[in-house]
Amino acid sequence: MNIKIIPSKIYGNTEAISSKSHIHRLLIAAALSENSSEIYFNKSSMDIYATKNCLIAMGFRITEENCKFKISPGENINKNLSLPCGESGSTLRFLLPIAGALGINGDFITKGKLAKRPLSPLKEELTDKGMTIFCKDDIIHVENKLSYGEFKLPGNISSQFITGLLFALPLLSNDSKILITTPIESRSYIDLTLAVLKQFDITIEEKENFFYIKGNQKYIAPKKIYAEGDWSNSAFWLTMGAFSEKGISCMGLNPNSLQGDREILDILKKFGADVTIEKNKITVKANKLHGIKINCEQIPDIVPEIAVLGALAYGETIVSGAERLRIKESDRINAICTCLKNLGAHIEEKNDGFIITGREFLNGGKVNSFNDHRIAMMCAVAAVKCKNPVIIENAEAVNKSYPDFYIDYMKLGGKTEKEV
């Protein structure tokens, strides 16, 4: 599907959708619990359904009604099964160690580029502790039970590897520890995992570069759980606010959230945008923007928003520390640079980021989403400050995390047309 976006004035209020990162973790912890629970949210996405469907395939009982997941303990966990994880890296990397902890034999069925995204060194650590894992085309086959012990992982490849082990190791018969061999990037995602585990009565002890995990722990779920608003996706609306004289307000965000992408507020301020923070409402309005220099090791998911701000800010913006973006749904550094260059931005690609010289307006034109949800949304945001329409090819990529993105875009005054 292609979507044509006609530049228009945007402003108004929007409600933050529920956090994909939070719901993934809540669903898994609730499924592993010995009691029933309910998770409340306002919107879901393809990635969330991938986790839900895999848990159901494992034998856990999950039903959905009126923006609520009801989760009950699995009576007989299935041992030989097919796990449809789609394109969700979180689903695969979180559930892979859990499958081993539960002694599940089966196939993770992937789509898109997920099977080509890195699984090492998590795969080697799991096989060293008893699991058998082999990959063929879009299938990742697992066998045998995971054993306790010491696991060694670098902190700069994927925080999802660490999260998967933090969920799985409390289920084993004896104690384990995770040694982190390099500084952790995207630390906030691990903090979110630890907070959810604590909420479900799981104890993790952290000292220096170790996580200590006691075995034979029991997950106990709160009766009702409410998913947080999503800072990662809301960052696109807040970024659009920086180009709006009347401003854009986003409701339902927790300014004290453990989600690292709340950093977008400080970044917008550094660019010069007008930012107002109230109890349950964040408002961003246009002001004179100027370029910044920023290292994005801890906030890779909001680099597309930073790129748009830099493309339309006076002076030079230098983004570094984002090398891991090359192994996302797309080579996201290259995708950002290609799309913005096609729209008329002055951007130079680097190994771990890019350098942008800002302009008052971009030209517009045709871009491809690279089947990457964040690239599609970035282009839609950039269209607000283009002289001519923007056509986004494969615009449906947003379904991965935000199926109603274009609907909410139009509610703020955006003008879109589907192209055949």
Q: Which residues are catalytic?
A: 301
- H-state helical runs in 200-329: 231-241, 264-271, 303-311
Q: Are 236 and 308 in contact (CB under 8 A)?
A: no
- H-state helical runs in 41-158: 46-58, 89-101, 122-128
CA–CA gap between residue 289 and residue 310 (Å, rounded): 8
CA–CA gap between residue 21 and residue 27 (Å, rounded): 10
The residue among 338, 307, 342, 340 whose CA lies nearest residue 322 is: 307
SS (H, E, C) 301-323: HHHHHHHHHHHCCECEEEEECCH
| CA dihedral for 370, 314, 232, 385, sign (positive or negative) | negative
CA–CA gap between residue 234 and residue 208 (Å, rounded): 33
Q: Are 313 and 272 in contact (CB under 8 A)?
A: yes
CA–CA gap between residue 103 and residue 74 (Å, rounded): 14
Spell out the long-range contacts of 203-208 with Cβ–Cβ below 8 A and sequence spacing 24 or more.
203/170, 204/166, 204/170
The residue among 226, 149, 160 whose CA lies nearest residue 193 is: 160
Strand, coil or helix: what is 341? helix
Q: Are 362 and 339 in contact (CB under 8 A)?
A: no
